[in-house]
Structure 1
Amino acid sequence: MICKLIFATIAVYLCFIPHNVEAKRVSNHEWDILIFTQQWPVTVCKELEKHHTKKCNMPTKRDSWSIHGIWPTKLGTIGPGFCNRTWLFDPEQVRPIEQELIQVWTNIDADSQLYTLWAHEWSKHGTCAAVLDSLNSELKYFSKGLDWLTKYSMTDILEESNIVPSNTQGYRVLDIHNAIKNKLGVNPAIECGNEGGINMIDEIRICFDKNLVLHNCDGIRASKIIGHQVVATNCDVSKDVLYPEYGYKSSLYVQLYKLVSFIKWLTL
């Protein structure tokens, strides 16, 4: 009887251990695509001011998009993240490109240390992206972000479609989506912040497969139907999106923007 009980216990143990190990491996390490996220510093700064930051670090070129990160992602979910907690960020590894990172992979939160953003992006995302030979070091990971910003700068892509920063003119989410899709041939994801009930462009994300080829961002977040098109966005699609200029002041421009929007609505 005792032998049968021991045998049954071992059988159950052998049955469950591989399953649990595999489930952990999938949830912690497997991913489908890379999300390259660019952020609009003006909006990011306004979001930070809501919480604690009294002063923001802005990119050298003030009216330009900066890098937030490169995020390996499993479609339909979030992550993985922190795939190797022992692989800590070492500033010496990115010393050759540090000045470029300061300029365009800018830590906008002036209340934090210089390396805070880079350390977070490497620890959470870079250690997961490192399964690819092309991204298997800090220098490769951050250099790829610099390379992609040069090739796929949202500053340039939006400007080609006459979408430029303005404190009074808003843009339709669909127009922003189409400007990017027409240029790159893939669907982006568009993120908005909110300031006084106004959509403010926050982040634009483009995606790549494991061969670093552009890929649709469908599936990385909930989508909305605009007309006959599916757009990955959290923005309120019933309203225009403000793409604010550097020097945007909330109290003044919110009221001005609302006034301009109301006049525009009256004249439709």
Structure 2
Amino acid sequence: MWCSALLLSLSPAVVLLLQLPDCAATQEGHWEDYKYGRRDSETKQHCSWKCLQFTLQWPAGFCQSLDKKDLCRIPQSVNSWTIHGLWPLRVFRCCNCWPIFHSDIQELEAELNEHWPSLLKIKSSFHFWRDEWDKHGTCAACVEGMNSPLRYFQMCLKLRGRFDVHRLLEDAGITPSCDRLYKVVEVHQVLAPHLGDRHEIQCVTDEQDREVWFQVKIPLSRNLTVSCDHRTERDTSSPSGPGRRASLGHPCPPQVPFYYYPIDHQQPQRPCG
């Protein structure tokens, strides 16, 4: 009875947040659920994953994955590999019980804009982050170090610093070019000591049917150590949306050289003319 009286005394917005199952729970309990996420049977069934996939994308390669030439944008401040996502494998989506608000990650916004920007004109960076949290972050939150929006995005930024692909490649003389071609084996030799032997070098096919380096997928165990036997895990991480091709990315063919296009901020989808 006291719960009904309490709801009548609150504003409609607060009432909406508090109308969770089991009205006998305390108000404090409701706020705990909202802040830290639900831990009932709805979420527990999505916590059985063993491997994650941390994915970095090369902006110039990403632009080649779009059918529509005017959709891609690369902010002037972006000149390196950016985060695509951190995805628990085996599950497609966790639950809809944990919304994210701009204020949750506002303190990270400058870093996120630099290292995890939206590269689509039709999607703001926050909408990109929100989609990643809704689809993947709520499942990654089964691990204590990522059990809130803030902690999840903090961890992604830490992993981006840990796996500095741009520096590793540059130190090995592997740099973006419109003319030079690379092979999987030479790139793998450079990255394997740092990303593990099971990392995947992915390409897309451009309009001229050339293989173009698109992203790197790094398998991680639940405790975020490099490598995880994810062969039995179902990868449902490939996103889709307006302007995306049916096949977003594929492992770069071992015997076919690929391009590592330079970034062109003015013509992001035609960096080599």
- Length-normalised TM-score, structure 1: 0.72
Once the 2 structures are TM-superposed, how far is the Cα of residue 161 of structure 1 from its aligned partner? 2.0
What secondary structure does 1:200 align onto? strand
- 2:59 is equivalent to residue 41 of structure 1: yes
Structure 1 gaps of 5+ residues are 1-21, 75-79, 223-232, 255-268
Taking only aligned residues, the RMSD between alpha carbons, in angstroms, comes to 2.6
1:244 maps to 2:261: yes
Pick closer, same or farther for the CA change 1:171–1:204 going to 2, 3 Å.
same
Q: Which residue of 1 aligns with 2:81?
A: 65
Q: Deviations over 1:112-132 (max 9, x none)?
A: 223121011000000000000
The normalised TM-score by structure 2 is 0.71
State, as a whole percentage, how many aligned pairs show the same letter. Answer: 26
After superposition, residues 1-268 of structure 1 pair within 5 angstroms as 28-48=46-66, 50-51=67-68, 53-58=70-75, 60-62=77-79, 64-74=80-90, 80-195=91-206, 196-216=208-228, 219=231, 234-247=251-264, 253=272
CA positional deviation for 1:241: 1.2
- Which amino acid letter does the alignment assign opposite residue 116 of structure 1? H
Q: Which has the higher relative contact order, 1 or 2, with Cα contacts under 8 A spaced 6 or more apart? A: 2
Deviations 1:89-116 (A, max 9, x none): 2111100101110111010001222312
Higher mean alpha-carbon deviation, 159-168 vs 130-139, is at 159-168
From the CA coordinates, give the structure whose radius of gyration is larger. Answer: 1
How far apart are the structure 2 equivalents of 1:98 and 1:166? 31
Asked if 2 retains the 8 angstrom alpha-carbon contact of 1:199 and 1:235, the reply is yes
Query: Could you list the per-position Cα deviations for residues 157-177 of structure 1 after superposition, in whole angstroms to 9, with x for gaps in the alignment?
Result: 222222111111010011112
Cα deviation for residue 149 of structure 1 reads: 0.9
**In structure 2, do the counterparts of structure 1 residues 123 and 52 end up closer, same or farther at CA, with 3 Å as the change threshold?**
farther
Mapped to 2, the partners of 1:221 and 1:53 lie a distance apart of 33
More strand per residue: 1 or 2?
1
The question of whether the paired residues in 2 share the 8 Å contact of 1:35 and 1:71 is answered with yes
For the residue of structure 1 that corresponds to 2:211, the secondary structure is: strand
- In structure 2, list runs of 5 or more residues that go unmatched: 1-40, 236-249
Aligned residues: 214
Q: CA deviation at 1:184?
A: 4.0
Distance in 1 (CA, whole Å) between partners of 2:262 and 2:234 is: 27
CA contact (8 A) 1:37 1:67 kept: yes
